[in-house]
Amino acid sequence: MHDSAAAPTAGATEDILRRAGAAPDHTAFPTVDALNEQLEALRALHPDLISVQRIGTSRLGEPISLYSIGDGARSALVVGGVHPNEPIGSLTILHLTEQLASDAAFRGQLDTTWHIVPCADPDGMRLNEGWFADPSDRERYAREFYRPAPDEQVEWTFPFSYKKAYFDAMMPETQALARAIDTARPDLYVPLHNSEGGGAYFYLSRPVPALYPLLHALPAALGVPLHTGEAEGAHFTVLAPAIYEMGTLQDAYDWTEAYGLDPYPPGSAGDASTSYAQKYGTLSLIAELPQFSDPLADDTTPTETRYRDALRESGEALQETGTRLTALVDQVTPFLRLDTPLLRAARVFAPAATAAGEENVARAAQESDRFATVSEVEALSGLVRLHRLRWGGMLVRALRAEVEAGTAAPELRRTAVEAQDLFDGWLEGALQSGSSRPLPLSAVVGVQYGAILAAHAQLGGASRWASD
């Protein structure tokens, strides 16, 4: 398998952009049950084309399935729900499956066997369904949000051993995803992610320069801004604006250690699924699409703020956030009775906010005195809001569960009120200061779907893109 040395032909690019722009309109995300029902309905319509096998079981007993479509010379694996708070991929999967099943010419041009896992973490996704009916409601999204603790995330719980780090606690869901990768032996692997706000950005498992223009053209064509602010991790290699090389967990460990910080704190997890897929020579793509857009996400105009000052200010705000949340967790710990996913996540992510702040402060001390761009300042401010609303909201939900179950001591009830007041203040401030707006789901699904086709076109071989 070799990546193409040249960009797709004009006809191929036009076809990918056309197909990306034809994603259907949606106003809601499907629940786990609705996603499964719609895929089964498609399989019932095309029983000779779509097959399904069970590849595992979630911790709560939910079947995890692998669908297969077509019988081509190459193999592609697309997985949804690897992070259960990121459901754009559910709609992308439904659209991809429908297109492959209904268009024989298109399927033949791709010459690929497509393997699809609809949802790798159904238990976790059910804890987010409270905001799926109206994902444009930013307040409801914050109040009903859930993201698993790192060592309970399907995407990041593959075995890892490096220096002082060791992880081998693969969950049943992770084992199912590993089984899917080993079954598909994919030429192309796409775990479907989405970000919360800002602009679109992409990760590739290796440089593919011919792919970059199309990854830039897709969001531009569909009205989705490109992310040009602070990257998720400063250790990532920038391949092009908003396109990064995935790198390795070893790289992240060494980078953090070099700043004198703890590279593997309590609650850390394992390696990523994309690392596991590398043994098959797989090209992996992650297309991060935002639910909410910020008009400043791609504004590269210099500000009057030094980048190091913006880093330090965000770091101090994150440290203060983590300190306050950790104090609330410590305050209530002697009185907790329920062990819930929300509580386990809140316990890990509260100190993680402090660690993220320490990292930014350490980076600021070594940063040059260049001026930050508008998008960089906005991204750093957005990071603070993200930590406050995600982890504060989950702590509130965890304590509310104790109260509603009738197991809360008076001390816990008082802390629950204190946590709610703190979170409500953060939420009000975020809603007033933020300039974000919900993006049309057809646009973000279209970009993600188009990115899959664009990466596929780089596999080389016998694929024949139509130019109509």
Q: Could you give the number of structural domains in the chain?
A: 2
Same domain flag for 105 and 177: yes
Q: How confident is the model at residue 5 (pLDDT cuts 50, 70, 90)?
A: very low
CA–CA distance, 325 with 109 (Å, rounded to integer): 53
Same domain flag for 324 and 262: no
CA–CA distance, 107 with 463 (Å, rounded to integer): 10
**Per-range mean pLDDT, top range of 229-233, 402-406, 431-435:** 402-406
Q: How many helices (H) and strands (E) does the chain have?
A: 15, 16
More confident residue, 295 or 175: 175
Mean pLDDT (whole number) for 166-194: 98
Q: How confident is the model at residue 2 (pLDDT cuts 50, 70, 90)?
A: very low
Strand partners, 260: none
CATH (domain of 445): 3.40.630.10
| Non-local CB neighbours of 424 within 8 Å, separated by 6+ positions | none
Could you report the per-residue pLDDT of 382-427, keeping only the tens digit for each?
999 999 999 999 999 999 999 999 999 999 999 999 999 999 999 9
Same domain flag for 374 and 450: no
Burial of 258 (0-12, 13-18, 19+ CB in 10 A): exposed
| Whether pLDDT at 166 is above 50 | yes
Same domain flag for 61 and 120: yes
464 inside domain: no
**pLDDT given at position 467:** 37
Q: How confident is the model at residue 462 (pLDDT cuts 50, 70, 90)?
A: very low
| Non-local CB neighbours of 43 within 8 Å, separated by 6+ positions | 50, 51, 52, 67
Same domain flag for 106 and 39: yes
Can you list the positions of beta strands (E) in 346-421?
A: 371-373
| Whether pLDDT at 7 is above 60 | no
Same domain flag for 143 and 185: yes
Could you report the per-residue pLDDT of 153-164, keeping only the tens digit for each?
999 999 999 999
**pLDDT given at position 399:** 98
4 inside domain: no
**pLDDT given at position 115:** 98
Q: How confident is the model at residue 433 (pLDDT cuts 50, 70, 90)?
A: confident
Extract the tokens encoding 394: 């989950």
241 inside domain: yes
Domain that holds residue 385: 302-435
Same domain flag for 100 and 234: yes
216 inside domain: yes
Same domain flag for 29 and 146: yes
| Whether pLDDT at 466 is above 60 | no
Same domain flag for 214 and 314: no
% of the chain beyond a pLDDT of 70: 96
| Whether pLDDT at 114 is above 90 | yes
462 inside domain: no
Could you report the per-residue pLDDT of 326-335, keeping only the tens digit for each?
999 999 999 9
CA–CA distance, 128 with 84 (Å, rounded to integer): 7
Q: How confident is the model at residue 6 (pLDDT cuts 50, 70, 90)?
A: low
Same domain flag for 290 and 400: no
Same domain flag for 211 and 315: no
Mean pLDDT (whole number) for 167-188: 98
Same domain flag for 285 and 383: no
3 inside domain: no
